[in-house]
Amino acid sequence: MNAPQTTTLGKVPCTIITGFLGAGKTTLVRHLLENAGGKRLAVLVNEFGDLGFDGSFIAGCGIEGCTQDDIVELPNGCICCTVADDFVPALEKLLNRENPPQHILIETSGLALPKPLVKAFNWPAIRSRVTVDGVIAVVDGPAVAEGQFADDPEALKAQAAQDQAVDHDNPLEEVFEDQILCADLILLNKSDLVDAAGRERVKAEIAQHLPKAIKVVETAHGKVEPALIIGLGAAAESDLAARPSHHGEGEDHDHDDFDSVALPLPQAGSPEELVARVAKAAEAEGVLRLKGFAGIPGKPMRLVVQGVGRRVGHHYDRAWGAGEARDGRLVVIGLKGFDRAAVEAALAG
């Protein structure tokens, strides 16, 4: 048996991959698994809501050397809020395997704050066994270009003039800022969907949120040289002071501004018909992210659909299993009180 690769302190390195809903974290993780170069990798994937799909997208991808045991899924909560109950035991389970991983990839939910997770690496149960090799923030280039994470200053000024007591807190902007403020490297993903001038504007927008220079790398479809991400040696758990957050020491962090629901996704006659339904659902008030899968009559493979804002994509990810029920499901994540009725009506066709 080969000994696991460790840092100079004898710890197994871990890479935390953070980023807002739909930025491309899972796509990046799959790319890293596909290009592991013989290194034993394991993945901890966390999702916001009761049903997890990202773990199944990774586990079902057919990557050589990547088994079901290498993917540990933590649904029903936010990893940054359930460190003691979920994260630490899951990490220990991976470390205690007969053939432990040489590197662990940790994909947070799109609403997670990475700093509490980095702090968890100082817990007595794991601090002598693992280290944060680096925090990678995946940024959705088109979403930033469209102003999803920034308030309109003119609109705020007009609103303040009418009502001085109005609350201007933007929960999307706070999550976005916390994620990039904790990063050792920022990936500007989906850069192929933004022109050169737009990419420069997005980089300038990111820089406005940062108190220090952090390297920004342009990527498309999460494809990046693994050596840029794995092997940073950041030991981020020992560098917490340099990673500011909107949520101070000991301050409670919750997700009361957001909600999620898993809904049935009926079969459609064609991928185009299914995408049209999901795209209509994405237009409902308050919806931020949709992701799920469904069956297409006559097709042996499962069709995955994912939407961010008004952008909806689809692809076949794997064959249906023998005897597997072809019941489609769609997870919808949105602001608290989003228009669920409109979403359900759109999905029903």
Say which CATH number the domain at 213 has.
3.40.50.300
Helix (H, G, I), strand (E, B) or coil at 157: helix
| 112 token code pair | 């997670």
Higher pLDDT, 116 or 83: 116
Q: Residue 154 carries which DSSP code? A: H
Q: What is the extent of the structural domain holding 19?
A: 12-242
pLDDT of residue 344: 93
For the chain, what percent of residues have pLDDT higher than 70?
Answer: 79
| Residue 99, token pair as written in the block | 């053939």
Any idea what the CATH number is for the domain that residue 284 is in?
3.30.1220.10
In a domain, 4, yes or no: no
Residue 68 shares a structural domain with residue 136: yes
Final residue of a domain: which of 217, 242, 267?
Answer: 242
* Residue 329, in any domain of the structure: yes
Mean pLDDT (the chain, rounded): 81
Any domain includes 6: no
Q: What is the DSSP letter of 16?
A: E
Query: Does residue 64 sit in the same domain as residue 176?
Result: yes
- Structural tokens at position 9: 């302190």
Instruction: With CA atoms as reference, report the closest residue to 174 among 261, 255, 80.
Output: 255
Bridge partners (DSSP) of residue 330 are 263, 292
Range 140-168 average pLDDT? 60
Q: Which residues on adjacent β-strands are paired with residue 319? A: 301
Output the pTM of the full model.
Answer: 0.77
58 within domain boundaries: yes
Cα 117 from Cα 74, distance rounded (Å):
14
Query: Which of residues 242, 268, 286 is at a domain's end?
Result: 242
Convert the pLDDT of each residue in 307-319 to its tens digit.
Answer: 876 778 888 888 8
Specify the number of domains making up the chain.
2
pLDDT at residue 68, as a whole number: 64
- Do residues 312 and 221 both lie within one domain? no
The answer to whether residue 7 is domain-embedded is: no
188 and 288 housed in the same domain: no
Domain co-membership, 62 together with 147: yes
Instruction: Map tokens 């990936």 to a residue.
Output: 187
The pLDDT of 148-153, averaged and rounded, is 56
**125 with 18, same domain?**
yes
Q: Are residues 235 and 279 in the same domain?
A: no
Pairwise CA distance, residues 21 & 179, whole Å: 12
311 within a domain of the structure (yes/no)? yes
Residue 306 is predicted with a pLDDT of 85
pLDDT tens per residue across span 269-299: 899 999 999 999 988 988 888 888 999 998 9
**Assigned domain for 248 exists:** no
Residue 13's beta-bridge partner residues? 131
pLDDT in tens, 167-210: 445 577 888 899 999 999 999 999 999 999 999 999 999 998 88
Residue 247 lies in a domain: no
The mean pLDDT of 205-229, rounded to a whole number, is 91
> Do 142 and 291 fall into the same domain?
no
Q: By mean pLDDT, which of 15-29, 140-154, 205-219 is the weakest?
A: 140-154
Contacts of 109 (CB under 8 A, 6+ apart): 46, 47, 48, 78, 79
| Cα angle: 35, vertex 41, 44; to 5 degrees | 115
Phi/psi of residue 281, each to 5°? -65, -35
Higher pLDDT, 134 or 262: 134
Which pLDDT does position 66 carry in this prediction? 53
For residues 191 and 290, state if they share a domain: no
Phi first, then psi: what are they for 193, rounded to 5°?
-95, 5
Instruction: Identify whether residues 198 and 88 lie together within a single domain.
Output: yes
pLDDT in tens, 38-47: 889 999 887 6
The residue from 187, 220, 242 where one domain ends is: 242
pLDDT at 111: 80
Together in a domain, 20 and 122: yes
pLDDT score at 168: 40
If asked whether residues 117 and 139 sit together in one domain, one would say yes
